[in-house]
Structure 1
Amino acid sequence: MTTVRIDATQPRQTIANFAASDAWACQFVGTWPAAKKEAIADLLFSTEATANGQPKGIGLSMWRFNFGAGSVEQGEASGIKDEWRRAESFLTPAGTYDWTRLAGQRWFLEAARRRGVRQFLGFLNSPPVSLTRNGKAYATAKQPNLAPDRYAALGDYCARIIEGLRKSTGITFDYISPVNEPQWDWSDGGQEGTPFSNEEIAGLTKAVSTSLVARKLPTQILVAEAGKLDYLFTTADKPGRGDQLGAFFTDAAVPTYLGGTPRVARIIAGHSYFTTSPHALAVATRQQLASRVATVPQLTYWQSEYCILGDNAGEINGSPRELGMAPALYLARVIHHDLTVANATAWQWWLALSPYNYKDGLVYVDKNKTDGAFYPSKMLWALGNYSRFVRPGAVRLAVEPAVAAAGTSTLLVSAYRSANGQQLITVVVNEATTPVALQLELAGRRLGASQPYTTSATTDLQPGPPVPAGQVLHLAPRSITTLVSELR
């Protein structure tokens, strides 16, 4: 039997949200027949349960909305070969704003709100094509695709969209993320995108800040969505694009400092790609990041984009699509390390919906613009073991050991006190191929009965029999179990 000790007197970070993005399939799936898109929205956003306690969905607490650059209007001339990776824009070629555009995306935006989502973020992969250097939504010359004399126009564009969506949908965006993975060149036409140096990011961020303040919008700016975590705390192989903690938040004397800029969130955001395997690298990278973030007062870290990409040191490959438990367990391990080692206060997935033969989707859809089938993955439910129960305002608690021996594999354990202080939420990842007996011990509070929810090869957040306080829980092989326990 494995005993895990949780200490309620040792709080760690406060959780802000779990999220996913609407790029790119929502533009089409949002116009599918009502019954199908409503069912998909339930899977992503619902916090309701059936009569027997089965969750209907994973209860994402934030939704990321793509402020497209307008490559859809350009069609084949956009240079982006896959039309599912082109994006529409509210800004028309005539220079006016049309709030009936992005209809499919707006449907999911409002579906999220109807199901209780209260946090919203707008992001840009590229400035709108009318502002870019080459008139396209990707950087053909491997240079930043926005000239400095267009920063103010980009700021106005961001503020106009936030203001327009507030008027047309009633939703005020909490965050705007104007830059995505600025370390990459984005020159192959695979999707909308552009590189930026830290100096350029600082300049355009200040321009967005000015426009938000001028329009009296409360939206905060999120920087800088680094392409991998190393670029947040080291220069690595990208001089002028790395050490973004140092550039934006550490030294008020440097010209790129954004710590005192109005509307800039006290958050540094990065993506977990290329840093998740092997285990020693994953842990060491996140330890270094957490250590650096801790040196900056009131700064928090968000893991703001991830899917299973690359070969991951031979542990798992991003291709092909796989709906089963192997990618779900790998994903749960990544989430665990980001939360317990890097101290991430938010954890966000890339494609909520994917038509691709890749491990990049929570729900997979047929590549059909008007109608098709959809296929929930075990990765959806693995994320749900966290997102459905660890709600905004929950506080992570110290766990010993966070990685516990269990046969030939490991248990990954993390624990969270609910925002109202009345529940303990414990997430246990059992990678072993055999059942494991687990007992929880809690210091600082009394532990009541626990309700387990298990994702396995045969279950999707399935509720099990309640476990009385002090009783041993038997974990299924290759499973993820969330225990919702009473605190006394």
Structure 2
Amino acid sequence: MRCVRLAVLLAAGAASAASAVAPAPAPAQDAPVTVTLRPAVDRPSTRFEGWGTALAWFANLSGGWPEAERTRLADLFYGKGGLGWTIARYNIGGGNAADTPAYLRAGGAVPGFWRKPAGATGRDWWRADDPTMWDWTQDANQRWWLGAIKARVEAPIFEAFSNSPPWFMTVSGRVSGADKATDDNLRPGFEAPFAAYLARVVDELQRRHGIAFRTLSPVNEPNTDYWFAANKQEGAHWSPARQAAMIDARDAALKARGLKTVVAAPDETNSHTFLTDWAGYPAATRARIGQLNVHSYGAIHQTGVRDVARSSGIRLWMSENDAPLAGDPENFDGMASPLAFAEHVVGDLKRLEPAAWVFWQAVEDLSARDGAAGSNWGLVKADQRSLAGGPHPLYVTRKYWAMAQFSRFIRPGYRLVPVDDMDTAGALSPGGDRLVMVHVNPAPMARRLVVPTGWRVQTVLTDATHDAACVAGVAAPPRSIVTLVLTRGPTPADVCGASSPR
């Protein structure tokens, strides 16, 4: 990069010398476009609960990093000067057998809480009611994050979720899936033992960490062909019928322990597959679901999922997504992936109208290695393959600042409100005196934004040269993300006083 920049500077110097002889004409500027934003603040809409991330898999690594590094990460995501997240999804690991050769991706081998007795053979030795078969020293790194979040968030919302049963409850003997990707990997009849495993983990971690898991999600992206034995991450296929049986068993196991935790499901990969799963659930199973979870890897039929939630009266979360631009090479400062990501979030808020929006994993591995172009997954990049003792330089990408445009301003308790512009999402504060609109401008020309009269306006900008920075005016520069904070009444908006972590 230094050589390229030097070449650019030399070329610029040459151009300056030439311009002293014959000035070049100024490049033509695209004319600004006027966009009028009309929010429907008087329509009943979804009460928003907040933003967050799944802790898998980055927490399984970073929770064991040096204190300064992991503390900085926790501040970046959950600190008051950071993104201000309030939600975390804790991954209850299944865990492969101890003699299974390592093959899962960095951080993907989340340990289970079971202990195999000395001399035990086969796969039928485990007993949930035997205290010697539990190991509560496991998963210390991810559990560090539970305490870090609790210390930073006044009222955190924790969800537990599972990607796979423990290896001895699977058909293949591996937590990454069945030998065939479309086969269910839970052994027949093991719904109740697996449910008992998850319920006990929830109960124990709540007690040990002084937290509450509001929900427990037993399956993840279940009705897909993603999960197979040789895969590099935990996963399991579940047909809709097996999903229903697992939801029923999980509900019974939670109630048997007297827990307030309720079942979330189905955590399907996209909305159209969610609707297939939902259609396969009996009415009694649907009644046992306390929260609907859907991922947004695909935007087809999202309003169908919205209407399932409305009709059933069940809270809906968009519980997992990361949306870098496909084929965009790893670039900490570029705007291509941040724009794609922000546009995706706007679409989710408008079509799904979810009560929460949860990122996949906030920290991703450096991906431009060995000549590969890499990609822009994650909000922060770090070398996840280096030794736990570090150092681990942290690279805050511009996607992080795109996320800040939403999470710093659309806060828990706000109501999502429709805005007639397709590039704008809106939310209204509980008292109705603050209106937030996040606008994405992917175009090469500026947009003049016309907002409702009678409101004071402050503007926050992320583009190629601004990182969630307060700016003057009500406009969206070319290829930018703009948050408009409108207030009315005696107290003006003050969105620029908080410090921003770097």
Q: TM-score, normalised by structure 1?
A: 0.82
Number of aligned pairs?
A: 426
Q: Secondary structure at the match of 1:329?
A: helix
Distance in 1 (CA, whole Å) between partners of 2:466 and 2:199 is 44
Which of 305, 327, 351 is residue 337 of structure 2 equivalent to? 327
Partner of 1:408: none
CA distance 1:211–1:414, shift in 2 (3 Å):
same
CA distance 1:81–1:62, shift in 2 (3 Å):
closer
Distance in 1 (CA, whole Å) between partners of 2:178 and 2:238 is 14
Which of 435, 439, 442 is residue 431 of structure 1 equivalent to? 442
The answer to whether structure 1 residue 369 and structure 2 residue 380 are counterparts is no
Instruction: Map residues 150-299 of structure 1 onto 2, 5 A cutoff.
Output: 150-185=190-225, 186-187=227-228, 188-233=230-275, 243-248=276-281, 252=283, 257-261=284-288, 264-265=289-290, 267-273=291-297, 275=298, 282=299, 285-294=301-310, 296-299=311-314
Which of 457, 471, 480 is residue 464 of structure 1 equivalent to? 471
Q: Higher mean Cα deviation, 412-421 or 36-45?
A: 412-421
Q: Which runs of 5+ in 1 are unaligned?
A: 48-55, 234-242, 276-281, 310-315, 404-411, 466-471
Instruction: Decide whether the 8 Å contact of 1:413 with 1:427 is kept in 2.
Output: yes
Partner of 2:101: 77
Distance in 1 (CA, whole Å) between partners of 2:307 and 2:60 is 40
Q: Which runs of 5+ in 2 are unaligned?
A: 1-33, 118-125, 127-132, 368-374, 490-502
Distance in 2 (CA, whole Å) between partners of 1:108 and 1:23 is 11
Q: CA deviation at 1:421?
A: 3.1
Instruction: Decide whether the 8 Å contact of 1:293 with 1:301 is kept in 2.
Output: yes
- Matched letter for residue 190 of structure 2: R
**What is the RMSD of the two structures over their aligned residues, measured on CA atoms?**
2.2
CA distance 1:340–1:485, shift in 2 (3 Å):
same
Instruction: Map residues 430-449 of structure 1 onto 2, 5 A cutoff.
Output: 430-441=441-452, 446-447=454-455, 449=456
Cα displacement string for residues 233-275 of structure 1 (whole angstroms, at most 9, x for unaligned residues): 2xxxxxxxxx123233xx63xxxx42322xx21x3322221x2
CA distance 1:285–1:7, shift in 2 (3 Å):
same
Distance in 2 (CA, whole Å) between partners of 1:484 and 1:93 is 56
Partner of 1:476: 477
Distance in 2 (CA, whole Å) between partners of 1:57 and 1:452 is 18
Which structure has the larger Rg over C-alpha atoms?
Answer: 2
Partner of 2:111: 88
Partner of 1:114: 151
- Matched letter for residue 74 of structure 1: A
The answer to whether structure 1 residue 23 and structure 2 residue 56 are counterparts is yes
- Matched letter for residue 404 of structure 2: G
Q: CA deviation at 1:300?
A: 4.1
Q: CA deviation at 1:360?
A: 2.2
Partner of 2:424: 413
Cα displacement string for residues 308-336 of structure 1 (whole angstroms, at most 9, x for unaligned residues): 37xxxxxx315643322111110111111
Distance in 1 (CA, whole Å) between partners of 2:194 and 2:327 is 34
Which of 331, 339, 346 is residue 356 of structure 2 equivalent to? 346
Distance in 2 (CA, whole Å) between partners of 1:260 and 1:228 is 22
Instruction: Decide whether the 8 Å contact of 2:320 with 2:360 is kept in 1.
Output: yes
Instruction: Map residues 1-20 of structure 1 onto 2, 5 A cutoff.
Output: 1-20=34-53
Q: CA deviation at 1:115?
A: 1.2
Instruction: Decide whether the 8 Å contact of 1:391 with 1:419 is kept in 2.
Output: no
CA distance 1:170–1:300, shift in 2 (3 Å):
closer
Instruction: Decide whether the 8 Å contact of 2:167 with 2:174 is kept in 1.
Output: yes
Cα displacement string for residues 22-78 of structure 1 (whole angstroms, at most 9, x for unaligned residues): 11122121111111111111111122xxxxxxxx3111120111111113x636536
CA distance 1:333–1:83, shift in 2 (3 Å):
closer
Q: CA deviation at 1:217?
A: 0.9
Partner of 1:399: 419
Instruction: Decide whether the 8 Å contact of 1:138 with 1:145 is kept in 2.
Output: no
Instruction: Decide whether the 8 Å contact of 2:427 with 2:436 is kept in 1.
Output: yes
Partner of 2:23: none
Q: Secondary structure at the match of 1:5?
A: coil
Q: CA deviation at 1:83?
A: 4.5
Q: TM-score, normalised by structure 2?
A: 0.80
Cα displacement string for residues 383-440 of structure 1 (whole angstroms, at most 9, x for unaligned residues): 221122212221112322x22xxxxxxxx11211123433211111121223322121
Partner of 2:65: 32
**Greater strand content:** 1
CA distance 1:459–1:418, shift in 2 (3 Å):
same
Distance in 1 (CA, whole Å) between partners of 2:405 and 2:308 is 29
